[in-house]
Amino acid sequence: MKSVEIIIDGIKKIVPKRITILKIAQDVGIEIPTLCYHSAIEPYGACRLCIVEIERNGRKRYVTACNFPVEDEIKIETNNENVVKIRKLILELLIAKVGYKGKVKEYAEKYEVEPRFGIGNDDCILCGLCVNVCKEIIGVSAISFSQRGIERKVSSPFEKEPTNCIGCGACSFVCPVDAIKVEDIKNERIIKKINAKLELEKCKICQKPFIPKKLIEYIKNKLGANVLLDIFLICNECKGKNYVDKLLPFSLTGGKK
């Protein structure tokens, strides 16, 4: 594999060609803020918060670290005055859209942002993580972008109840501003953001509804066998209790049977 020498925040490093600036920074312990990045998903570059300054042949420009591939010798500044100013402006615009939510609040406090454009109350920053995790990792595309321009939003396809949603909650897990809520109400899992309602299967031990039946079918199809299925039919509370019940007699006897 071909390599190239770069300088990042004064640190010289030889790196493989096509590696992203964000991965280089992570390798040397430099923190670059991100909102739309997840290591398991193809970089999208939507939030722009990971912006850095690069210099090549005496010319400077600003690029997103998460999806910029290094091709030749460059100098990278990840936290100089200009970069910080741009990040603070991006955070101001995000605050004007969604207010102080999730990681936006965390970074706003870190960069001591004083909003000039008001404080919004939308729930979504359109980072695309939920859309991409559902498509790339789960493989069902039950959530997507709709509309254009200022009307652009995240919803289910055609804003109808998604028949292919399995209720796994991956979209909620990766959301940086907690815009997607997953609630288990009686016998249903409800994901209001995408109009999803899924029937829950009961725990084999306590009979409490806890896992969507569609998710069980998804797991069965992925595993290709039923041998491990019982593990997924027991809720976490009962798993923990079952573990303690098995461990306690063993510990009381000093590890002797």
Task: Give every CB contact of residue 243 below 8 A, 6+ residues apart in sequence.
Answer: none
**How many of the other CB atoms lie within 10 Å of CB of 49?**
26
First-residue to last-residue Cα distance in the chain: 55
pLDDT in tens, 174-212: 999 999 999 999 999 999 999 999 999 999 999 999 999
> Is 222's pLDDT higher than 90?
no
Residue type, 207: Q
Mean pLDDT calculated for residue range 224-246: 75
In CATH terms, the fold of domain 3-79 is Ubiquitin-like (UB roll) (3.10.20)
| pLDDT 10s digits, 104-163 | 999 999 999 999 999 999 999 999 999 999 999 999 999 999 998 989 999 998 889 999
**What pLDDT, on the 0 to 100 scale, is given for residue 77?**
98
Mean pLDDT of all residues in 11-29? 97
**What is the number of other CB atoms lying within 10 angstroms of the CB of residue 47?**
25
The domains of the chain are located at: 3-79, 129-245
CA dist., res. 75 & res. 10, Å (int)? 8
Q: Say what percent of the chain tops pLDDT 90.
A: 82
CA–CA separation, 51 and 59 (whole Å): 16
User: Band of the pLDDT at 39, cuts 50, 70, 90?
Assistant: very high
